[in-house]
Structure 1
Amino acid sequence: MKQCNDRERWIHQNMAVIGGFMGGYAILNHHELFGSAQTANMISIAMDAAGRLDADFAVRVLGLLVYMAGLASTVILPKLNLNLKLFSVCLDAAALVLVGLLPDDLNDFIALYPLFFASSVQWCSFKGADGFVSASIFSTNNLRQFTTSFTEYICSRDREALRKGKFYGKVLLFFHSGVAAAFLSCQAFGLKGAWVGIVPVCTAFAQVCIDCYGGACETEELAAQ
């Protein structure tokens, strides 16, 4: 079972790199818009509905619907016997290829629609590892868990709190390594720097294929019984 847990952890850390890369790419190239979450967008929509004049109101609403469509797809696709994790990784690759091809004068929200959809699918497809719930597309809850877990360990020397803190600390490290990679790739290649993100996507694809079809975990579970 340790091998299975290690594999699950490595996959999640790899997906955090991809999540950080996509988030960093969106912020760098589209006026500080974060493509992996919708809180700021929904706040803007609410202000627009209350009377603020915003020429982007319609594209903001459509962007929210695109994000919601991604969330809904994670409910529908498993019912069609499609592997959600493989679908998510392939979708990340397609989104990164597409945003690198879009014109640089395209409306910022429209340019982020591929990342809206891919990020929402990734969020629901890779929910955590080692028994911990952890988002791979943004960091706030990971930071909360990291901070509170290490504080608990300092106060009580609880070994489980230390294990938890290490897990969330690694997710934060891998996520922000992806952000740094996005910065460097965009500095070098502009919008086409998105294609550098295909590298961690390829490693994630290989990891997920091994996890899904390797059979090692099933063998270990049977042996344990």
Structure 2
Amino acid sequence: MIHLTDKNTPLHEKLEIGLLLAIVGGFLDAYSFLCYGGVFANAQTGNMVLLGISLINGDYINFFHYLIPIIAFSVGILITEYLLKQLSGSFYIWVLITEIIILCIIAFSPDNTPQVVVTAAISFMCSIQIGSFRKICGAPYTSTMCTGNLRSAMELLFIAISNKDSHSLVKGLRYLTIILFFCIGATIGAVFVDWWGKISVLVCCLLFFVLLLLIIRDILYIKRRQQRLSNTINK
């Protein structure tokens, strides 16, 4: 029987965590595109293409409209790298709390808030997510875009078929599952944006809150287990 997850994997690398993050990633891409001027706040490749087109066309307003989210994304990666070294075990808790706060501010921001401010905030938040949750069951992946995941999935499936390698098959299926849930998230995002408009992003806050509870539960479990081991050694 094929098992896509491993009980010994750290919680922040487990498949179920990756699936929830992929839903959020797809949701936010649909949300930012539909609500805020066709900007993809998660993956910056599209914004870079549109930035170049705007520059060639002399459309300098849209040029900065696409440039600012790219800068915000870059700054978010730098800050994440710094905090990863400073916060240690509590890092993932602070990441999720930060993401919840940012999305709540976006949900209840005034209607006249400039679009570029919101897309920059989402880009910053997504860069934190990418920089923090980098692996799924020990393998590198991204929860906010699919190109790299799709390449890895196809490479692993080719290896699995050509070499009859069940381990590569499992890893390839993990990537495909992440991609599927990203698409599900985008679909859900489009539906909720149609229903609720900009406050639909609170759905992502709920998912992040669930992730936060899971991370806290795992940290407490590890501490209790270490305490029991210490008590046993000291007896």
**Whole-Å separation in 1 of the counterparts to 2:22 and 2:223:** 24
Instruction: Name the structure 2 match of 1:20.
Output: 26
Matched, 1:175 2:179: no
Instruction: Name the structure 2 match of 1:76.
Output: 82
**Whole-Å separation in 2 of the counterparts to 1:184 and 1:47:** 30
User: 2:153 touches 2:176 (CA, 8 Å); kept in 1?
Assistant: yes
User: 2:31 touches 2:189 (CA, 8 Å); kept in 1?
Assistant: yes
Instruction: Name the structure 1 match of 2:64.
Output: 58
**Is 69-78 or 54-63 further displaced after alignment?**
54-63
**Whole-Å separation in 2 of the counterparts to 1:208 and 1:176:** 25
TM-score, length-scaled by structure 2:
0.81
Q: Deviations over 1:107-146 (max 9, x none)?
A: 4322212211110000010001212101011111111122
**Whole-Å separation in 2 of the counterparts to 1:165 and 1:62:** 35
**Deviation, structure 1 residue 42:** 2.8
SS at match of 1:80: helix
Q: Deviations over 1:149-206 (max 9, x none)?
A: 2233233321122111111112112222221221221121111111122221111111
Matched, 1:166 2:173: yes
SS at match of 1:5: coil
**Whole-Å separation in 2 of the counterparts to 1:137 and 1:95:** 16
**Deviation, structure 1 residue 81:** 2.4
Instruction: Name the structure 1 match of 2:102.
Output: 95
**Whole-Å separation in 2 of the counterparts to 1:214 and 1:86:** 15
Instruction: Name the structure 2 match of 1:11.
Output: 17
Q: Deviations over 1:52-84 (max 9, x none)?
A: 332133343333222122111112213432633
**Whole-Å separation in 2 of the counterparts to 1:10 and 1:195:** 20
User: 1:4 touches 1:217 (CA, 8 Å); kept in 2?
Assistant: no
**Whole-Å separation in 2 of the counterparts to 1:22 and 1:139:** 14
Instruction: Name the structure 2 match of 1:36.
Output: 42
**Whole-Å separation in 2 of the counterparts to 1:148 and 1:160:** 13
Instruction: Name the structure 1 match of 2:233.
Output: none
* Counterpart among 194, 207, 211 of residue 204 in structure 1: 211
User: 1:67 touches 1:116 (CA, 8 Å); kept in 2?
Assistant: yes
**Whole-Å separation in 2 of the counterparts to 1:137 and 1:183:** 16
Instruction: Name the structure 2 match of 1:189.
Output: 196
Relative to structure 1, the CA distance from residue 18 to residue 4 in structure 2 (aligned partners, 3 Å threshold; closer, same or farther) is farther
User: 1:36 touches 1:120 (CA, 8 Å); kept in 2?
Assistant: yes
**Whole-Å separation in 2 of the counterparts to 1:205 and 1:161:** 31
Instruction: Name the structure 1 match of 2:156.
Output: 149
Instruction: Name the structure 2 match of 1:114.
Output: 121
User: 2:26 touches 2:144 (CA, 8 Å); kept in 1?
Assistant: yes
**Whole-Å separation in 1 of the counterparts to 2:120 and 2:66:** 10
SS at match of 1:81: helix
User: 2:32 touches 2:119 (CA, 8 Å); kept in 1?
Assistant: yes
Percent identity reads: 21
The count of aligned residue pairs is: 220
Q: Whose radius of gyration is greater, 1 or 2?
A: 2
**Deviation, structure 1 residue 217:** 10
Relative to structure 1, the CA distance from residue 217 to residue 48 in structure 2 (aligned partners, 3 Å threshold; closer, same or farther) is farther
**Whole-Å separation in 1 of the counterparts to 2:21 and 2:171:** 18
For structure 1, which runs of at least 5 residues remain unmatched after alignment?
none
